[in-house]
Structure 1
């Protein structure tokens, strides 16, 4: 694995952990009513990570960006 791919994977992992933590904080505070939404987000994250491993590159980055925008409500 090249240094660039390793750094990209590390960065995406940190971003994913941050978004999951933000979502869990929202569930804890009552911002999100249903745990089913959490399961949907985990499933979407798993798909995005799988695409990254399979295609590895710009397509997975596009999907990850789309999911982050979707989660942020933009």
Structure 2
């Protein structure tokens, strides 16, 4: 849980770990008390909208189309419980 903070090579020129990213750094700036403990976990989801075949991901008469929130709803419910 602490490797990213204590052991990784911190190279300002390369993105080698999510902690090197601007989003991670911005989050730490916004929540410094949370950032103090390197054991605290951050959860992030990233998508580039890739759909290589142009297919709808769930087929059928009630398919949701390309609305990503349909796929994220179960995830957000689980994260809320945690």
Instruction: Give the TM interval when normalised to the shorter protein.
Output: 0.3 to 0.5
Higher helix share: 1
TM-score normalised by L of structure 1: 0.36
TM-score between both structures, scaled by the size of structure 2:
0.33
Larger Rg: 2
